[in-house]
Chains A and B, each alone.
Chain A
């Protein structure tokens, strides 16, 4: 028998437009427990413990955090010894409590207690402090494409250490403007002036604090965290434009703490994807003992902390790309006939700044001249260079 018929279905497509999209949406009738308490603060053995108390806000509220200092905060061991917390005097940090925990021992168990002004009382579980190994190294790896760099941590733990880790880090970085200018335009008097000394907008600094980064090694043969990624920066990132500093804090945490942090991150990072898990209930290790039905947010860990810090220069990484700083062609602006005169003030308000000397200068975009668009003049006290 032969193949008598062969049906062919060539299917032509004229247009296919799939505009899958994301649009705003707000469900109706949402009610938040507006004043549920958030407790943040790990018990740092051989160090100083900071405890931050704040309140849950509704989604439509402004973004500010409401900190609570009208409270009693202390740490207690199983023998009933109390280590009292005091409201910190520091002004360059958010309001918090400080507890001197230098004399705490790795062999005892501790709990954190909080009593609020309105009678609500909170307690954490009793926690066994965990010792954490030293951080072996902070390193970085430039991507093959040279468009980004990963910073990572390596730690070699032993079998006595927990297989679960948590890191927090602070970053400081120095920015220099792509172009140095000894003059500036005074928009009030509409005159050009020379800075009395060095330009105050050539060097700037900025600081950021990270959220927790967690890792586990329980599926590995050795308790080794090898080049675990902390973060990635692109070649346009200010942090690697001149001098970068990172101070990394490491704690060993329990498996339960790791679950808490991974659920917290998963609830926030993965919601909305097509195979996203349903948000899981997040249960920390703090309870409201006066009102058992009240929600409380946060997870307290206890243990030692190891610290590692490095400076890295832009040359070390070598991938940073500066802003493109083309001088403004003023004649191009005046296109109407007869050419209309554009004032310096107008150019200033268009976002340009003068580079050069009075009478002999070019206009460049502000970001090329003034580092204050991306940083501040608050130079960290430990910064290893002496310019200001």
Chain B
């Protein structure tokens, strides 16, 4: 118990709040009796002491002011061999060890990591202002008991951390039980909540951590860091987790949040935990085909998703042509997907925002992992550089996947390919002082692949971001992020030396984002800020490769664009039941000079209608586009268990991906809006009902939405999208509409946990404008390539015991639309197909079941090694799902349709993991 006494002493040094006046006090070479007088004169404390040896009276020199009274006094006494203990308003100065004035935090908890815990608390105290709380059996004092009461509410803020490794607990709910007010911690684990004065109870809940009730006595605004213990499997307990609350309590419609621990439990192809594939298991998210890059959210195109990794934008978050995502699961903390209500601080894409956050790293000790999987070798390290101040986390992966390509079918075009990829993620965080923290993030991913010896492809992402987070005061905080995002790809062909070439595309953006939160009133939480992005895009360069090549070097002029947005939002707690989140974002965009472009007669963009050439000077605004974007959502608690939410939002997007393949390809190029290509715009209205059942163990939700998209790009027949200077002559403006209903039944925790989701949705596109001749389907509505009306997804995990668990993943979807041959004709000595109108037929329905069985062989904490065995199978039923269809002449000289299945059989895998 010895160390607990020490802890208790430091616990005594709570706040300097009892130092009544702010006049600095300095004592030089005084005895304990003089100290007692000075303390009692200048503060509200009573000081008692027992002098140890009266022969050599102790002499102290100490100075303090209101804020450092306890620390300085404690340190001065410590130097003289005394300890300072506090109980309420009484201070005790004793020789040697102090007295235990309250029970240690873990007195009622069973943690074994006592040493760490005590050091954590000690460290926290030296930081001065903030307490840490984690015990249910103790009253924590918030603010200055002697301050004059002003109003009846104060603001409580702080961080929620994981007890074991000090990492922030993201997405935890802090609820004031008396008022029902609740907030969710952000990606830093930070929370801020209005709280009534006096004694009050607070409940903190998070995913994977134990629910933590706290008793507080609130005097004024104050800070309280909350430490939470990782949950020990409780198989039967009715635990309400943050996951159960989040959909019901947050004002956002269509928000999904997943922790990496959940992602790891979902069976994946080749057993590789995959952040993006998990997104596909959520209702409302679809993809053109398994193993294709990109995803579609509620009828949006693949380029309409903003994918943020630590604040930077990822343009291609996949490896191996889309088979795997480019996020290292060892480094990722959580993902958050906004399908409908997009907060005002985000913009630039019209369908969704997917935020992927990396962990900050263990702030207690250096840990790491190294592994070899079927496809990748990986390594990751994390830990403190300066304990409790500076952390790092870094991970790297590389592949040796060539062998796998050999297993793919002949017709897939992959079989004779070679492929290589790697990614590196690094993050640093540094706590400058309790109110200021800075972060540095770096990410690089690279892919090279070739289908034949002569032609090779490559693409890479580079993201760098610096983030500064500052808490101005208890009610006001700001995050400033600035950084660089780069994406590029290249194609090298050298089959014919005379025509050998090297074609490249490159996209860079420099961004700054400032976002502030201000609690202006107990019912109004204001957010405001600005975003700025400078785009620098090299649409293409086509260069000769080798001395013999007679290819004309061709470099398309760079495109530049500037996007600025100002936003303000207000989360208004109208009543305990009704909360409204209102936001407006005004965005301004213009392509910037220098640039040269055609003008066209009457807006008809074809070579015959060119009327002139415009030269725009350096920095000139070529064509400004600007307008407001509205974000409005509301939540109404109809009862304890039933919530209603609705929202509407409008969005603008100034960058377009040029793609005319069914699924996004890694060498698709991007294009900025300019004088001819207008920004994509879209709006979505959505509403949902959320109901909890059986002691909050089950949650049922229904969400419906309607979405409209304008200025989406499609292309004329034969349009060449690479190296095209005048792409405006080849694009067809397209409008889209999408609507659907998503049903979800979720059980976040317990022996059986997971979700079941059913979606009905339609996504239709139509060539826009009034024309004499339409190029696509006569100007009629047609289904988008990812229109899959019926969609069932089940993710389930069943824990038989602490040792054995079974995970299942079921995916059913209607077949996607395809354009198929409807006839055949003989022309130029060959038979050719005549095709149907676009997307008029469908491939067979998709069905897949994956199973995994996990055995955690040893639970004894004292064992040196721990092993986890997972065996499972992807596509257990071996169904030959069609990825694509094609036609060929069969042996009876008839035309036969064929479907290509990428994973046409069950793919078993076995992982044996050992940790030590």
Contact = CB atoms under 8 A, between A and B. Distances in A.
- Do A and B associate with each other? yes
Interface string B890-907: 000111111111111111
B833 A18 contact: no
A8 interface: yes
B899 A281 contact: no
Contacts of A283: 717, 775
B639 to A, nearest CB: 46
Interface in B857-916: 880, 882-887, 889, 893-916
A20 B407 contact: yes
A275 B665 contact: yes
A297 B882 CA distance: 30
Nearest to A38: B825
A12 B911 contact: yes
A224 B499 CA distance: 11
Contacts of B831: 63
Interface stretch (B56-64, B241-249, B409-417): B409-417
Contact of B412 (A8, A20, A59, A271): A20
B908 A16 contact: yes
A89 B154 CA distance: 102
B119 to A, nearest CB: 13
A60 B824 CA distance: 9
Nearest to A266: B718
Interface in A206-235: 209-212, 219-222, 224, 226-227, 229
Given A11-B371, A272-B884, A36 B550 contact: no
Contacts of A56: 823-825, 834
A187 B127 CA distance: 106
A330 interface: no
B819 A25 contact: no
A271 B832 CA distance: 12
Given A11-B913, A17-B905, A20-B904, A4 B498 contact: no
Interface residue range, chain A = 35 or more
A87 interface: no
Given A8-B370, A12-B911, A278-B785, A21 B901 contact: yes
Contacts of B823: 32-34, 36, 56-59
Nearest to B404: A18
A212 B661 contact: no
B833 A277 contact: no
A27 B899 CA distance: 10
Contacts of A226: 498, 550
Interface stretch (A105-113, A255-263, A357-365, A370-378): A255-263
A22 B900 contact: yes
A339 interface: no
A30 B785 CA distance: 18
B414 A281 contact: no
Interface string A243-278: 000000000000000011011100110011111111
Contacts of A273: 411-413, 884
B834 A32 contact: yes
A12 B905 CA distance: 20
B880 A4 contact: no
A211 B830 contact: yes
Contact of B842 (A11, A20, A27, A229): A27
Interface string A31-61: 1111010101000000000000011111111
A9 B370 contact: yes
B511 interface: no
Given A4-B367, A274-B412, A281 B886 contact: no
Given A22-B411, A25-B899, A12 B912 contact: yes
Interface residue range, chain B = 35 or more
A34 to B, nearest CB: 7
Nearest to B321: A274
Contacts of A57: 823-825
A23 B901 contact: yes
B372 A10 contact: yes
A295 interface: yes
A381 interface: no
Contact of A54 (B718, B825, B906): B825
Contacts of A262: 718
A8 B898 contact: no
A260 B718 contact: yes
A78 interface: no
A5 B368 contact: yes
Contacts of B271: 11
Most buried by B among A212, A262, A274: A274
Interface in B414-464: 414
A19 B830 contact: no
B901 A7 contact: no
Interface string A71-102: 00000000000000000000000000000000
A298 interface: yes
B662 A211 contact: no
Contact of B885 (A25, A65, A219): A25
Nearest to A3: B366
A78 B422 CA distance: 63
A6 B785 contact: no
A279 B371 contact: no
Contact of A62 (B843, B893, B911): B893
B822 A18 contact: no
A275 B661 contact: yes
A168 B829 CA distance: 9
B149 interface: no
Contacts of A60: 894-895
Nearest to B414: A274
Contact of B551 (A26, A54, A219, A268): A219
A104 to B, nearest CB: 22
Contacts of A221: 550, 552
Contacts of A29: 841
A11 B373 contact: yes
Contacts of B372: 9-11
Nearest to A166: B828
Contact of A279 (B387, B542, B819): B819
Interface in B618-675: 660-663, 665
B496 interface: yes
A227 B835 contact: no
A14 interface: yes
Nearest to A17: B905
Nearest to B886: A272
Contacts of B551: 219-220
Contacts of A24: 896-899
A56 B365 CA distance: 74
A12 B271 CA distance: 11
Contact of A30 (B381, B665, B836): B836
B902 A20 contact: yes
Contacts of B718: 259-260, 262-263, 280
B370 A20 contact: no
A15 interface: yes
B145 to A, nearest CB: 40
Contact of A11 (B374, B827, B880): B374
Nearest to A218: B552
Contacts of A17: 905-908
B820 interface: yes
B827 A298 contact: yes
A331 interface: no
Interchain residue pairs A-B with the least CB separation, the first 10: A272-B886, A9-B371, A32-B823, A259-B718, A7-B369, A25-B899, A211-B830, A19-B905, A280-B717, A21-B904
27 contacts: A2-B366, A3-B368, A5-B367, A5-B916, A6-B369, A6-B370, A9-B371, A10-B912, A11-B373, A13-B909, A22-B410, A23-B899, A30-B836, A33-B823, A40-B827, A56-B823, A58-B822, A58-B824, A59-B823, A63-B831, A211-B830, A220-B550, A267-B832, A273-B413, A278-B662, A278-B819, A280-B660
Interface of B: 270-271, 291-292, 321, 365-374, 381, 383-384, 387, 404, 407-414, 496, 498-499, 542, 550-552, 554, 660-663, 665, 717-718, 775-776, 785, 818-836, 838, 841-844, 880, 882-887, 889, 893-916
